Structure 1
Amino acid sequence: MATLLRKIGLIRLHNRDTEDPKHHHHHPRQQGSSLRGRGSHKPPPQGGSGSSEGSSPKSKKAAELAKPPGKEKAGRDAGAGPSPGSVPPAVRQPHCTQVRSRRLMKELQDIARLSDRFISVELVDESLFDWNVKLHQVDKDSVLWQDMKETNTEYILLNLTFPDNFPFSPPFMRVLSPRLENGYVLDGGAICMELLTPRGWSSAYTVEAVMRQFAASLVKGQGRICRKAGKSKKSFSRKEAEATFKSLVKTHEKYGWVTPPVSDG
């Protein structure tokens, strides 16, 4: 019995100790202090608050579903950078402009040194990429040369504009004055010459060479200065020339650089 009473007393003593308010007040503060002490030396996980909810499978799945479609792929693509050997457009464009400028400067110098004064050049609004070219000479045995003498026409004036990727693409070339008939000169002053098309062009062609070819085609095509009343005073227009040139290129791409049969239009 005495032993049983001692056991009961020990149990009561134990219960009293665990229920002591002082003991409960001291224990949580000590535990909290210990957690804060450990936590102050451990950085929180990246991308979250460190709470248990942020690391649960459900929250991870919800975060994945909340991502915009294609964002992860875009991130990989952006991080990968340009493919080897590719040139960004921002770099490629200035390079093309430099190539075009150097080439045209050289051509201007070469034309200025021509001994026969075959052609001369004036820049339009001081632009290196927009030229008015005066053709001073054609075959002196041609009817066109005779027309030029009879009408006191000192030169045939043409306009050449050079695209950004010149000399790898041809210039756009058209006649400004006088108004010509035949000689492969079409509506608006457009010129029917294969070498002025992307398919027929070569970066080796110079402006001088193009102009000499044009002078030859004028004579070969029996070009004449228009003297018809009313029509001879009508100026060529760039808009009409561009439309005409686009149409003739399309036609020649279909039929080749030969005159298509009348039945085919």
Structure 2
Amino acid sequence: MTKSEILFDNVKPGTVCPLKKGDWIALELPDEAGSPLYHCRVANPDLFPSIEIGPLIGQPVSKELSTTPKWSTAFIDQYSVEFDELSEAEKRGAVYRLLALLPSVKEMNAYLAKQNTPDLARWVDRISPAAFAVLRWTLASNRSCIMAVDEPEKAVHGMPAYMQFRFAMGAPDKEHRFKTAVKKTANRLDSKYPTLYAWHGSSIQNWHSIIREGLHFSDVVNGRAFGNGVYHAPNAATSMGYSGMGPYGYGNNSVSFIWPNSDLQISSAIALNEIVNAPAEYVSSTPHYVVAQLDWIQTRYLFVKCKPADAGAEQPIPAFDKPPTSKLEQDPARVPIGAANTPIIIPNLSPKPEKGKRKLANTVSPGPKKTKRAKKQNWFMGKIAPTRKVVDLTGDDDNGDVDETRFEDSDLSDASSTVTDDEDREIFMEPQSQQLAVRTGPSPIEFVPGSLDHDKLSKLPKPSYANPMATRRLLQDLNVLLAVQEHTPLRELGWYIDPEKIGNMYQWIVELHSFDMFNEGDEELPLVTDMKKHNVKSIVLELRFPGSYPINPPFIRVIRPRFLPFANGGGGHVTAGGAICHALLTSDGWLPTNTIESVLLQIRMAMASIDPAPARLQLRGTYAEGDQNSYGSGEAVDAYRRACKMHGWTIPVDFDQTVAEQ
């Protein structure tokens, strides 16, 4: 339809149009077959009682309606009810209908590919603000990394007709806890095969919460005949039954659980989990593995059943007819049986040791994944962050100053972090019997923690504001970061926070370092070259949190060293005044569910990117001379405002208070 209009009947002279440009309305057409319901945006109400509307969104528009100029009777409902005012049942129905109104993933991808500024929020005629809010929440609340398998060498053999995904679930420390459990149990039992693999099936409607909360056994779904724990099966046919597609039919395979605009039309899903190999210590080991220790379980693959493609259409499921050449060695007594009713073959994804490199067991994490920096920097991981559960860690104290803080491993929970690139790299390294190549020897710009003199930094004045909610959240975030820092080699982590120097919860100093980890073989990042030349060990950042955190983003700036401005050929997303130039740190790009860990990851990767230009340092004299190579706080604040104005970004409402010089 090129143009559609609504004509209001029996309108009295002087009547004001009840709608304005940008409003969304629902149209029911009772005279059409099936009384279809459509949704659309008001494009132009200036000619009321006739108003122009955008494209009709909903079920496919009938050929007659789309090609024949005619008037049809319509009942109109305006989007005017606040979501919080709905009952629980109405909220569920509203979310379901809003999801059905979203474009397919392919359509969204095609739209973004055509835009100079790729932002789905700009697709105003196709996605309503309400539907966009649901889409944004769905993505932001996702706590897993799910990557489609499209290469035979990375696919599990023995699962025909299933689409395969590699799957990483939970917080960065989840993998650490799993590896620790594997190591301790294997040493205690003297196991030749530290882990085994088994299937877990669940109805399709359960996977939304599984992806966000991880596997647990808080709720009883299919009974617990063999005790309390997470149930696994050595045969995929058993798990298929619980997923809704097997011969037993335990699950619910109703089409109402399928997203109408899904390209895959997923009807069931099962997971292949890696488990600590100690069946005698499970709650039950026959006929199912019932595992009560959640740290003993890690999901490695997700297999989904899709609707077969129409004849002549592109098949969504790659055909993996041949097994991978590099095979993971499994416990021969406990090899899982796949959908083909044969033992599955799992690919060995551990990188082979390079010639001349020392071999180490994979209890040591590998270096960063190599990519072509100009075009293939992986920005996905930091963009998808989890919902945090706020825990009262400080009582009613509303003072932002912290004199004494305890940082304990127990503070690091799955609900308080996000999947990162580091976890993604570690999570898909396979068991400890494998060998891998790692960088050895000291770094030419070796970072030394604790060597920074904080008293010589040109920081913003100590903030005087505070509120209990923000303070509790900041303390929780700091606990998470320090626990991750304690359990991860600093060179792999790439950032450092000195816990002894946190004097105010609203003002942090963070050092970014070890940028040589991004080098491509013998090709050195220009930033690394400059850091070596001037003996710069780290990039010093100041993080200033508003009193409204986490509703509004922190202000983040470089204190030192100075970067070559973009106008002079520099890069790294650092403004001429030292403020970080990123939509993520504005009201338009920030989400309360973002984590500081993911923010630091994105900033570090932006500095390492050479697209559109590599970051370079601009130092005056020697770096040790201090102030002349540092940014002033005032110039950073001004640069942030200029960047927001230039890009059309919204400055947080309490920004002036956050950066006040007092």
TM-score where L is the length of structure 1? 0.55
Q: Quick one: distance in 2 between partners of 1:156 and 1:254?
A: 26
Q: Quick one: distance in 2 between partners of 1:126 and 1:93?
A: 16
Contact kept, 8 Å, 2:556 with 2:579, in 1: the verdict is yes
**Bigger radius of gyration, 1 or 2?**
1
Q: Quick one: distance in 1 between partners of 2:467 and 2:502?
A: 23
Q: Quick one: distance in 1 between partners of 2:589 and 2:649?
A: 14
For 2:582, give the aligned amino acid.
M
Contact kept, 8 Å, 2:558 with 2:631, in 1: the verdict is yes
1:246 to 633, 638, 641: 641
Contact kept, 8 Å, 2:539 with 2:558, in 1: the verdict is yes
Match of 2:496 in 1: 120
Match of 2:631 in 1: 236
Greater length-normalized contact order (CA 8 Å, ≥ 6 residues apart): 1
Aligned-pair identity in percent equals: 29
1:124-163 equivalent positions in 2, closer than 5 A:
126-138=503-515, 139-140=518-519, 141-163=524-546
Are 1:201 and 2:590 matched, yes or no?
Answer: yes
| Deviation per residue, 1:192-248 (Å, 9 max, x gap) | 111111211123332222222112222324111114569993420111101110121
Match of 1:218 in 2: 607
1:102 to 476, 483, 491: 476
For 2:604, give the aligned amino acid.
A
Cα drift, residue 180 of structure 1: 1.0
1:45-60 equivalent positions in 2, closer than 5 A:
none
| Deviation per residue, 1:140-198 (Å, 9 max, x gap) | 23111121122211111111111122222211100011111122212321111111112
Stretch moving more, 103-112 or 155-164: 103-112
Q: 2:497 aligns to what SS in structure 1? A: strand
| C-alpha distance 230-118 of structure 1, shift in aligned 2 (>3 A) | closer
Cα drift, residue 125 of structure 1: 5.8
Contact kept, 8 Å, 2:497 with 2:511, in 1: the verdict is yes
Cα drift, residue 104 of structure 1: 2.9
> RMSD in angstroms over aligned alpha carbons?
2.9
Are 1:176 and 2:550 matched, yes or no?
Answer: no
Q: Quick one: distance in 2 between partners of 1:173 and 1:238?
A: 11
Cα drift, residue 93 of structure 1: 4.1
Which of the pair is proportionally richer in strand?
2
Match of 1:16 in 2: none
For 2:496, give the aligned amino acid.
S
Q: 1:190 aligns to what SS in structure 2? A: coil
Contact kept, 8 Å, 2:577 with 2:631, in 1: the verdict is yes
| Deviation per residue, 1:2-29 (Å, 9 max, x gap) | xxxxxxxxxxxxxxxxxxxxxxxxxxxx
Q: Quick one: distance in 2 between partners of 1:126 and 1:248?
A: 30
Q: Quick one: distance in 2 between partners of 1:208 and 1:135?
A: 12
| Deviation per residue, 1:123-149 (Å, 9 max, x gap) | 656122211111112222311112112
For 2:511, give the aligned amino acid.
K
Stretch moving more, 177-186 or 229-238: 229-238
Match of 2:547 in 1: 164
Q: Quick one: distance in 1 between partners of 2:553 and 2:510?
A: 16
Q: Quick one: distance in 2 between partners of 1:229 and 1:101?
A: 39
Q: Quick one: distance in 2 between partners of 1:129 and 1:122?
A: 15
| Deviation per residue, 1:15-45 (Å, 9 max, x gap) | xxxxxxxxxxxxxxxxxxxxxxxxxxxxxxx
Q: 2:577 aligns to what SS in structure 1? A: helix
| C-alpha distance 131-95 of structure 1, shift in aligned 2 (>3 A) | closer
| Unaligned 5+ runs, structure 1 | 1-90, 256-265
Q: 2:550 aligns to what SS in structure 1? A: coil
Q: Quick one: distance in 2 between partners of 1:241 and 1:251?
A: 15
Name the count of aligned residue pairs: 165
Contact kept, 8 Å, 2:477 with 2:596, in 1: the verdict is no
| Deviation per residue, 1:57-114 (Å, 9 max, x gap) | xxxxxxxxxxxxxxxxxxxxxxxxxxxxxxxxxx994234323332333233223333
| C-alpha distance 254-126 of structure 1, shift in aligned 2 (>3 A) | closer
For 1:111, give the aligned amino acid.
Q
Match of 1:37 in 2: none
Which of the pair is proportionally richer in helix?
1
Q: Quick one: distance in 2 between partners of 1:224 and 1:162?
A: 27
Contact kept, 8 Å, 1:175 with 1:189, in 2: the verdict is yes
Q: 2:508 aligns to what SS in structure 1? A: strand
TM-score where L is the length of structure 2? 0.23
| C-alpha distance 114-161 of structure 1, shift in aligned 2 (>3 A) | farther
Q: 1:145 aligns to what SS in structure 2? A: helix
| C-alpha distance 111-171 of structure 1, shift in aligned 2 (>3 A) | farther
For 2:477, give the aligned amino acid.
R
Q: Quick one: distance in 2 between partners of 1:175 and 1:234?
A: 11
